[in-house]
Structure 1
Amino acid sequence: MDIARRWASTLADTKGVSLHPDVLEDVLLDVARESRAQAERAREAAVRRFTALYSASPIGIALADPGGVIVEANAALGRILGRSAESLRGIPIPSLGSADRDINSLRLGVRELVEHTLPHYRERMRLEHVDGPLWVHATLAPLPGDHEGRVYPVLMVEDINELHLLQETLRHQNLHDPLTGLPNASQFSAKLEAAVSAGEDQVALVYLDIDGFKVVNDGLGYEVGNQVLRGVAHKLTSVFHEHDAFVARLTGDGFAVLLHGRFTATEVVNLVQHAFDELAEPMYVDGHGVGVSASAGIVVRPAADTHREVLRAAEITLHRAKEAGKAQWVLHDPELDARSRTRYRIGAVLAGALENGEFELLYQPTVKLADPSELAAVNAGLRWNHPEFGELDSEEFYPLAETTGMTVPLGRWLLAEALAATARWRERFGDRAPEVCVRLPNRLAIDPDLVLLVKEQLDRHNLPGQALRLCTDGPSVLDPRGEVMDSLAVLAELGATMVLTVSGTADLELIPSHQLPVRHVILSGAVVDALAEHDDEVASRHLRHLIERGRELGLRIGAEGVRNREHAARLHRLGVLAARGPFVTEAATGDAIDELIAQHAR
């Protein structure tokens, strides 16, 4: 009214206005009333919209006074916290927190809003639910008051408990093995890195591999195998529970244990032996009493090296344990570790060395003992001219080739190059050219494509089968992975001469028992070495028995590893017909063997 009267008086004094002030006052009051009515309607509409949003929102909302005490809460907040909205009135916002950390976070948020007028304060936390802690996203925002500088805190709550549980489940799955529940390789690596980087006390790393676990899976089924793995995990965690022990499953049947603290290598070894004893105790699964053995590599050292160095040391030590015969532990030895690393470094580059032409044939002539000037055959082997380690004989790299899958490529190259050399000799010396004898690596001997490979190479060099002798041994013949006996029979039909290396009667008896098409045998090992220095009655009797049995089978008897002429003479007296070894010459390559063949041919 006062405002309308003042403006009416002002307008009445304005030039051109002819209305009486009282009339103007009424006009202005009508305008004011209409404006106020519109404002009231707009305010009421805004309140209704806010109230509808506030009431229907799935987000829990609590309105508080400037001190942070709740004066109103919507139904959604009540549902989220498992209580009625009315029961939340009069409760300070911070008291909704579940733990001290959550309470302090809410208290800090309210204070920051009031004192520093932040636009909002948001944090992931737990609020107290009637059934226990509940994970939420809590947001505190300020509502301006009716006086400048006054702020009313508003709490908005999003229920993320199921999302949090899902995230925790996924996190657990990412860091744990689903079968055994143990930490997986990723979590183990992080734990090891943390333990090593701490740089205090000692760390012990035990790598365990279950021996022959494939037997359990293939023999009893994967479900039994899985239960056995769970049993192994349980036994390991029950044995290793001191020194901040951390047990993990790294691969299918590979486990690791990390110990951290103060201990001796003997203590760790005793724990590993205890674990071995526990694993050997049968676990009964579906009526089957299954006991397993394990191989273990043990590294005990101050927590000073990088975690990668510790891991590598454990892996190499485990390899040594398995190579030594399995079912045993091996303690890390820095000297042996250095040698093993060199060996594995050699094995890792075999493929590149073959492609880069670093291999060459190494020949060893076999002579007739009745006339050592006459060649019986030339044995072809491999030598690696390593750019760093120099000349490496086959004994130094063939075991590694077996591990890396390079045995067959090396054997194929050996066969191809040996037959190429044979073709060259036959062209130069005609009938005086010697046969070439190739010792088949075990993996090549059992290869199903062996016959095709030999035939292809013979045809390629236009050679008859008689130009080739193929030598194998007892373990290759009996290897269940291949059909060696069938391959030998077909190769014999092609004309190739089959040679068997024997070290005793058992090997010799493979020939009649399996009807092997073998025409020559090569005595090897202790049966030959026993007569290297002098006549030995027992060794001579044993060897004579072997030779007599060989003659009964219609075999020609040779020997390898003959050291000198006296050694050769003793063997010849007992019935050995041909031999090779240092008494003839050291192994020769390229031009040297060509010259030797030329001399014998003359």
Structure 2
Amino acid sequence: MPEPGDTPGTTGLARRWAARLADTNGVELPADELERILTAVAAEARAEAEAARDAAVHRLATLYSASPHGVALTDQDGRILDVNPAFTRILGHKPEDLAGTDAAALAATEHEAETIRSAFAELRADGRQRHREQLELDHVEDGPLRTNVTIAGLPGDREGSLYPVLIVEDVSELHLLRDTLRRQNVQDPLTGLPNHSSFVNKLEATLAAPGDGQLALIYFDIDGFKVVNDGLGPGAGDEVLRHVARTLAAAFAGHDAFVARLSGDGFAVLMHGELSSAGVIDLVEDAMRELAEPCYVDGNGVAVSVSVGIVVQDAAGQTQEDLHRAAEITLHRAKENGRAQWMLFEPDLDHLDRRRYGIGAVIGGALENGEFELEYQPTVKLDGSNEVAVVNAVLRWRHPEHGVLKADEFYPLADTTGMTANLGRWLLTESMAEAASWHEQFSAAPDLCVRLPTRMAIDPNLVGIIRTELEQTKLPPDKLRLCTDSIALFDPRGEVPEALAVLSELDVKITLAVSGAADLELAHANKLPVGYVILSGPLVDALAREGPEADGARKHLVTLMERACELGIRRIGAEGVHTPEHASRLRELGIVAGRGELFGRAASGAEIRSLIEQHGPR
């Protein structure tokens, strides 16, 4: 008889093994003792197995309860038997309300309910199959909820039996995050318009689509937007950007247009179809008028003006890069021409602009690569001696593609790219060093005159720069003439009169470039220590001819000369002297020196040195 607590199968098995072992040579224990030992070993093994099973069941139950994913156990037909806490938390149901419920009834739509039923059917047909779908389930209070649903099978009590299980993961927040990121990739968060990336994609798709027609690319840029931001704060600036976005969207709403914010204060409009330049311009002008109406920000009426670049081209054969570049350059031209206006793309002007901007873009590299060089324009006394009184240092750019470029071709571009100060510093350094070598060797070497570009003249460190160059080059200060004009004097960014006054105290000579008597008054109004005046422009040119125009110029110059004497300025030169007769007329009016084609072309430093050697004492 088995003892209490024994398993009959275990006892019988122990007895059979005890009898067998007792009949084995070398075994000295009797069969009943062996049976007792084997029974104890079997009981211990069984206890360990049951403990391991209980531990596994406990772990599974803990995982079931603590899982962040909702789990519903169902019967073979898909009716819910039990759910874990996460399941009720995700869908808002109470466990007792879910018992016996068809799992497919949790779906938010009939289509998704059918998906769940089909997954159960497939699981019954092939128990090893696992089905995963992203479905919307119905939350008790919040309605449809985006979830990941997995339907799998757990082994049943009998061999071959299966209990389906429904596993639910709430991905609504992840879905929202993905939607947000997707919108950020294609939408400007401030204005709600498509962003730059979206605009480029739209343009490329339009160009790739079959069909003809015209394509219009319109770039808008707000004029003086920095004033709004700095004056009223970035919040006001944001509101202005939203106002521009709304206005442009409304202005082009009925024309199948794609309106986007590119970046900063830049916007773009893309149109495609049967278009004409005149029709597009009408739309642009309407939009500009709407934008000019003030929008009110914290009680402040802010009116917006925009510069606009318009490109209207056949869609066929265009590339996104070429159209973008054409619109950008046309927009830049509108800004350069005074802002608050539109400009239409013109191929001939586009070619010139691309050349100009291409030149401006490489100034820094050209300076580093030694492509700039100095030339000197001699200024000759008009007393008949032909003595070179001063040489005017000028920059020339020996461009590898465009040949020799004069200063007026690259200085405006250098202002745009911020390279003017670098060019001006190089001009001063090189010319002053060369002039210092002349004066060290020749006592009668001419003065050096340097015409300061405006950006250099208004540099707050101009005095320090000149002082440093004088110390390093050893050029006597009284052999240096610095020339400026009314543009630099009126520039609000600098303090040119104060700087020139300090330089004059260092014995540097100050020259003022003028075109008439009004400019001369600047010396008096600003108390400039002007020692020399260089006259150029229509008055000088008129004296090269005969007739009423020359007579009028002569009268004006007489007045100018008298005023110069009153101001104590007695040395006045002229730029643009063409012939001996021209020089004679200027001399009769009191002009003491001149430069121009009469006195030959600009010369290199070596040529100036040779000229000094030939005509001047050592």
TM class by smaller structure: 0.7 to 0.9
In structure 2, C-alpha distance between the alignment counterparts of 1:36 and 1:137, rounded to whole Å: 41
Q: Could you say which residue in structure 2 is the equivalent of 1:346?
A: 359
2:577 is equivalent to residue 565 of structure 1: no
Q: Retained in 2: the 8 A contact 1:112–1:118?
A: no
Q: Which residues of 2 match residues 532-543 of structure 1 at below 5 A?
A: 532-537=544-549, 538-543=552-557
1:471 to 483, 508, 513: 483
- Could you list the per-position Cα deviations for residues 127-151 of structure 1 after superposition, in whole angstroms to 9, with x for gaps in the alignment? 2334233222222223345677665
2:368 is equivalent to residue 355 of structure 1: yes
In structure 1, C-alpha distance between the alignment counterparts of 2:553 and 2:83, rounded to whole Å: 102
2:413 is equivalent to residue 403 of structure 1: no
Q: Could you say which residue in structure 2 is the equivalent of 1:392?
A: 405
Q: CA deviation at 1:356?
A: 1.7
The 10-residue stretch of structure 1 (295-304 or 353-362) with the greater mean CA deviation from structure 2: 295-304
Q: Could you say which residue in structure 1 is the equivalent of 2:295?
A: 283
Q: Could you say which residue in structure 1 is the equivalent of 2:245?
A: 233
In structure 1, C-alpha distance between the alignment counterparts of 2:217 and 2:391, rounded to whole Å: 50
Q: Could you say which residue in structure 1 is the equivalent of 2:564?
A: 550
Q: Retained in 2: the 8 A contact 1:559–1:578?
A: yes
- Could you list the per-position Cα deviations for residues 148-206 of structure 1 after superposition, in whole angstroms to 9, with x for gaps in the alignment? 76654422112232343344445545654444344443444444444444465554332
The 10-residue stretch of structure 1 (499-508 or 353-362) with the greater mean CA deviation from structure 2: 499-508
Pair 536,39 (structure 1): closer, same or farther in 2 beyond 3 Å = same
Q: Could you say which residue in structure 2 is the equivalent of 1:426?
A: 439
User: Structure 2: which amino acid aligns with 1:78?
Assistant: T
In structure 2, C-alpha distance between the alignment counterparts of 1:370 and 1:118, rounded to whole Å: 113
In structure 2, C-alpha distance between the alignment counterparts of 1:422 and 1:51, rounded to whole Å: 96
2:591 is equivalent to residue 576 of structure 1: yes
Q: Retained in 2: the 8 A contact 1:138–1:158?
A: yes
In structure 1, C-alpha distance between the alignment counterparts of 2:112 and 2:454, rounded to whole Å: 68
Q: Retained in 1: the 8 A contact 2:428–2:450?
A: yes
2:339 is equivalent to residue 326 of structure 1: yes
Q: Could you say which residue in structure 2 is the equivalent of 1:492?
A: 504
In structure 2, C-alpha distance between the alignment counterparts of 1:307 and 1:220, rounded to whole Å: 37
Q: Could you say which residue in structure 2 is the equivalent of 1:165?
A: 176
Pair 481,601 (structure 1): closer, same or farther in 2 beyond 3 Å = same
Q: CA deviation at 1:419?
A: 1.3
The 10-residue stretch of structure 1 (213-222 or 45-54) with the greater mean CA deviation from structure 2: 45-54
1:120 to 130, 133, 141: 130
Q: Could you say which residue in structure 2 is the equivalent of 1:448?
A: 460
Q: Could you say which residue in structure 1 is the equivalent of 2:523?
A: 511
Q: Retained in 2: the 8 A contact 1:416–1:457?
A: yes
Q: Retained in 2: the 8 A contact 1:195–1:303?
A: no
* RMSD (CA atoms): 4.0
Q: CA deviation at 1:271?
A: 2.4
In structure 2, C-alpha distance between the alignment counterparts of 1:505 and 1:494, rounded to whole Å: 28
Q: CA deviation at 1:94?
A: 5.0
Secondary structure of the corresponding residue to residue 442 of structure 2: helix
Q: Could you say which residue in structure 2 is the equivalent of 1:587?
A: 602
Q: CA deviation at 1:69?
A: 5.3
The 10-residue stretch of structure 1 (209-218 or 359-368) with the greater mean CA deviation from structure 2: 209-218
Pair 237,111 (structure 1): closer, same or farther in 2 beyond 3 Å = farther
Q: CA deviation at 1:418?
A: 1.2
Q: TM-score, normalised by structure 2?
A: 0.83
User: Structure 2: which amino acid aligns with 1:557?
Assistant: I
Q: Retained in 2: the 8 A contact 1:359–1:385?
A: yes
Q: Could you say which residue in structure 2 is the equivalent of 1:27?
A: none
2:146 is equivalent to residue 132 of structure 1: no
The 10-residue stretch of structure 1 (386-395 or 142-151) with the greater mean CA deviation from structure 2: 142-151
Pair 115,304 (structure 1): closer, same or farther in 2 beyond 3 Å = farther
In structure 2, C-alpha distance between the alignment counterparts of 1:70 and 1:156, rounded to whole Å: 12
In structure 2, C-alpha distance between the alignment counterparts of 1:162 and 1:454, rounded to whole Å: 65
Q: Could you say which residue in structure 1 is the equivalent of 2:350?
A: 337
Secondary structure of the corresponding residue to residue 284 of structure 1: strand
Secondary structure of the corresponding residue to residue 361 of structure 1: strand
User: Structure 2: which amino acid aligns with 1:267?
Assistant: G
Q: CA deviation at 1:517?
A: 1.0
Secondary structure of the corresponding residue to residue 600 of structure 2: coil
Secondary structure of the corresponding residue to residue 387 of structure 2: strand
Pair 55,557 (structure 1): closer, same or farther in 2 beyond 3 Å = same
Secondary structure of the corresponding residue to residue 598 of structure 2: coil
Q: Which residues of 2 match residues 43-442 of structure 1 at below 5 A?
A: 53-55=63-65, 57-66=67-76, 68=78, 70=80, 72-88=82-98, 93=103, 96-98=106-108, 106=116, 109-110=119-120, 113-114=123-124, 120-130=130-140, 131-145=142-156, 152-173=163-184, 175-198=186-209, 203-301=215-313, 302=315, 304-371=317-384, 373-431=386-444, 433-442=445-454
In structure 2, C-alpha distance between the alignment counterparts of 1:407 and 1:525, rounded to whole Å: 24
- Could you list the per-position Cα deviations for residues 72-99 of structure 1 after superposition, in whole angstroms to 9, with x for gaps in the alignment? 5445323322334455566654554445
Q: Could you say which residue in structure 1 is the equivalent of 2:39?
A: none
- Could you list the per-position Cα deviations for residues 51-80 of structure 1 after superposition, in whole angstroms to 9, with x for gaps in the alignment? 665455442223345555555544532332
User: Structure 1: which amino acid aligns with 2:136?
Assistant: R
Q: Could you say which residue in structure 2 is the equivalent of 1:22?
A: none
User: Structure 2: which amino acid aligns with 1:227?
Assistant: E
Q: TM-score, normalised by structure 1?
A: 0.85
User: Structure 2: which amino acid aligns with 1:502?
Assistant: V
Q: Could you say which residue in structure 1 is the equivalent of 2:538?
A: 526
Q: CA deviation at 1:382?
A: 0.5
The 10-residue stretch of structure 1 (251-260 or 104-113) with the greater mean CA deviation from structure 2: 104-113
Pair 573,60 (structure 1): closer, same or farther in 2 beyond 3 Å = same
User: Structure 2: which amino acid aligns with 1:233?
Assistant: A
In structure 1, C-alpha distance between the alignment counterparts of 2:331 and 2:456, rounded to whole Å: 27
In structure 1, C-alpha distance between the alignment counterparts of 2:78 and 2:203, rounded to whole Å: 47
Pair 273,114 (structure 1): closer, same or farther in 2 beyond 3 Å = farther
User: Structure 1: which amino acid aligns with 2:166?
Assistant: L
Pair 569,124 (structure 1): closer, same or farther in 2 beyond 3 Å = farther
In structure 1, C-alpha distance between the alignment counterparts of 2:120 and 2:354, rounded to whole Å: 62
Q: Could you say which residue in structure 2 is the equivalent of 1:21?
A: none
User: Structure 1: which amino acid aligns with 2:296?
Assistant: Y
Aligned residues: 591
In structure 1, C-alpha distance between the alignment counterparts of 2:450 and 2:111, rounded to whole Å: 77
Q: CA deviation at 1:332?
A: 2.4
Q: Retained in 2: the 8 A contact 1:243–1:261?
A: no
Secondary structure of the corresponding residue to residue 463 of structure 1: coil
Q: CA deviation at 1:409?
A: 1.2
Structure 1 spans left out of the alignment, 5+ residues: 17-31
Pair 449,135 (structure 1): closer, same or farther in 2 beyond 3 Å = same
Q: CA deviation at 1:335?
A: 3.3
